Structure 1
Amino acid sequence: MKFSSLSPVAATAAVALMLTACSGGTASSPSNTDGKLSIANVVAGPLGDQSMYDSAQRGLDKLKTDGHQTNTLQADANNPTQWKANLESVSVGKWSIVVTGSSQMTDIVTGSAPKFPNQHYIFYDAVVDAPNVASITYKQNEGSFLAGVLAAEATTDKSSFPLSGGSKTVGVIGGVDIPVINDFIAGFKSGVKAVDPSVKVLTSYVGSFSDSAKGYDQAKSMYDQGADVVFQVAGGSGVGALQAAKDANKYAIGVDSNQNAIQKGHVLASMLKEVGNSLVQAIDAAQKGDLAYGKTTSYGLKNNGVALTFDNNGGIVPQPVIDKIDQYKQQVIDGKITVPTAKG
């Protein structure tokens, strides 16, 4: 499926309080008279990716329910100039905190944050080293390790997974060849190897996070090569991979948000990157004056920043397999298994 481009959403009413300059370390954000914050969310594209941006928006929705003022600015999927314009339009001191994220925004935030030293930013899924930016990263390699365990189980256990051909072949599709995506892939391959080192892992990159047609084609190619499971880590492009799983009558694993019901009976699980939850925690810290700007907070299996969810998958993963995956999860949390990372 393809997503239509959306125009930026105009900024809504703003608070009157101006921000004070933030040096490194812990800094507080200004609030309204009731102690609530105003938060602008800048998306590097449109919502509707059924992935990370939608997860972030669920966090904003929760914050709005909690009484904070929120506004989300969307944009065209491949228009960095528009992303930058949106970011800077809400960086003039009328919003307590500006939220944005993804590696696609790294250069833009790196360039814009120093121009607006009084503006507080929360930047998720990558790091910007600036005294007014609180960065959030995720140990996607850990969550992807569990996805690899599941994929290996599915391709080696035909009795438990009836759509599997027992080919001992799985695949992983990345959106773009960048460190954060390669971190998913490194974790996935490690999980596969932990179960059965002889399982073959096919790898490809779409070259985009918004080309679902190409995501479909790459997944179809993997299924044609015998893959029983394809793990998609390609944002909107990966939605095409889930469609390919249905058409090939094989399995897929979703990413970032719970995608298990998108192609019911074919999506074994989804590797969640809990962006929304992390943003709620960060805003709560900011409200208390405890959010550490100029620093990075990392979320992994131990602090529920990533997870593998089987909810809404139609019960297609047997409980003994889920129990086995939980055992692997606990070993990672306990430090008995160290999952490799592609980020150094």
Structure 2
Amino acid sequence: MLVANDPDIVFLCETKINANKFSSVRSRCKMEGCLVVNANGKSGGLVMMWKESNKVKVQTYSSNHIDSIIKLENDNPIRFTGFYGNAEPNKRQCLWNMLRRVGQSVTKKWIIGGDFNAILDNAKKEGGRRKPSALMEDFREVVDELSMADLKTDNGWFTWVNNRDCTALVKEKLDRFLMSANDVARFPFMETNVIHPRLCFKYDVCWAKDVEAKKIIKEAWQKGFADIMGKIEMVGKKLGGWQYKKLKQMRTQMGTLQANINKVIDSQGGTYASNKLKALRIKLGKLLDEEEKYWAQRSRIQWLKEGDKNTRFFHVRATNRRKKNNIARLKDMDVSPLSSKYKERAKQGVRN
């Protein structure tokens, strides 16, 4: 996206990372200037990057904004505030007051851009429950008070979609640019666009030996897309949905197999029970191996090297190992359960 649009200034919100992890990103983006506001755990985090270090001067910043003065080519400065609204409605009033304080020091053209996590009216929302009118009124009030205009996008309208199906689908315009109303006419050729990034397609090792996956790839590839990128995107969409369903089925199967293994272990039986237990464990082992490959690729193999004992995979493996090493019951030569007297003797023998 950066290569295609070649921006001079980039503002990112909800990065979910800290400053020490962003230096490599900055160098890859070839940006001279950079300010990073650390994330709070696994939420929040802001970044502003710019190409020429002498063109941007940061004024103030917090966990929800970065305020700066930007020098344009004609040396006329413009005020830009990157903004990230709190998802919790009861905390938004504090952020509106923060924008009011910033506005008191603004004497130049002013643009506010980012994810406001709020809408101006219900026309900016489609699907789901209607937003409380008080929240929208608070947002409209601060926009009017600061004399800002909501810039319309040249393409697209909604900037956030919850990716649900049918009636559960919700679309909202949460990301926007506001500009001082008196200055909008001075930028007649200004464009604002909604860019939906294409999902990164990565080959999954789980597909290599799956007959159904091969069939899906073949059918998607033979459809009438002229360019190869269109074919790859179609394959990615088809396989993504198929793999999600398969993963749910696989987890259900593993739960069923584990329950059946427990039943066989707790039941009485001879050779048949032993063979059945072996067959069930082989099936469960294959499914666990598939799950291992699935998560190993998604975490870049790190958890596999570190051996995170809290993962479901290791938990099930350890549980099965304990059950293999466990003596469920003891029987005599006549295949009758031993009495408590002989059980104690057997335990002493095992300990010794």
TM-score normalized by the length of structure 2:
0.29
Greater gyration radius: 2
Instruction: Calculate the TM-score normalised by the size of structure 1.
Output: 0.29
Task: Give the structure with the higher percent helix.
Answer: 2
